[in-house]
Amino acid sequence: MTVYFHEEDLPEGVLAAGPVAVDTETMGLQLGRDRLCVVQISDGRGDEHLVRFGAGSSYAAPNLKAVLADPQRLKLYHFARFDLASIRAYLGVMAAPVYCTKTASRLIRTYTDRHGLKDLVRELLGHEISKQQQSSDWGAPTLSDAQMEYAATDVRYLHAMKEILDERLAREGRTQLAQACFDFLPHRALLDLAGWADEDIFAHV
């Protein structure tokens, strides 16, 4: 298991074929204000790749964009809504098709209101992960070892969790409902970017 660090783009050919786990680190959670700093990506075979974008970056990243925009490659997220919007805003691509472990968790783990990544990894896989670096300065000129390890863990377990969540969704007859939700997430991200982040457009009032 190795964490690889790259500046401004993903090297060509470092990922195997198939689904990739994706996450982002930003300066904050306000779209349009807080810039994209890091994109994490893993093919699920034991290594994680971190792509850092510096202040003033052009976000050209042709290799990373090609992977994210590939319609034949499933992207796994935890809370895809935010990552999709951030990637679209800065890299200019819609990183779909989508699978969201948080959405799947909400559909199948109805016995709890704890759907954070830390809670899921603990219950489904029996691992403990630290969220200590979640609110650190991701725009700093140099990332610490602790930051890089934190970023890597955000994508390290998504493939394994998808398998377990898929089994539970099938068991409870919610696979098709989950897929419909995943298919809608890119549109939800576009609504967020267009100004409807805090409004439920399906509400009666």
In this predicted structure, what is the pLDDT of residue 189? 97
Per-residue pLDDT of the chain (205 residues; tens, 9 = 90+): 799 999 999 999 999 999 999 999 999 988 889 999 999 999 999 999 999 999 999 999 999 999 999 999 999 999 999 999 999 999 999 999 999 999 999 999 999 999 999 999 999 999 888 766 566 899 998 999 999 999 999 999 999 999 999 999 999 999 999 999 999 999 999 999 999 998 889 898 8
Residue 32 pLDDT: 83
Domain extent listing, the chain:
3-196
Confidence (pLDDT) at 14: 96
**DSSP per-residue string spanning the chain:** --EEEEESSPPTT-S-SS-EEEEEEESSS-TTTS-EEEEEEE-SSS-EEEEE--TT-----HHHHHHHH-TTS-EEESSHHHHHHHHHHHH-S---SEEEHHHHHHHH-TT-S--SHHHHIIIII------TTTTS-TTSSS--HHHHHHHHHHHHTHHHHHHHHHHHHHHTT-HHHHHHHHHHHHHHHHHIIIIITT--TTS--
In CATH, the number for domain 3-196 is 3.30.420.10
Q: Do residues 151 and 132 touch, judged by C-beta distance below 8 A?
A: no
pLDDT at 134: 63
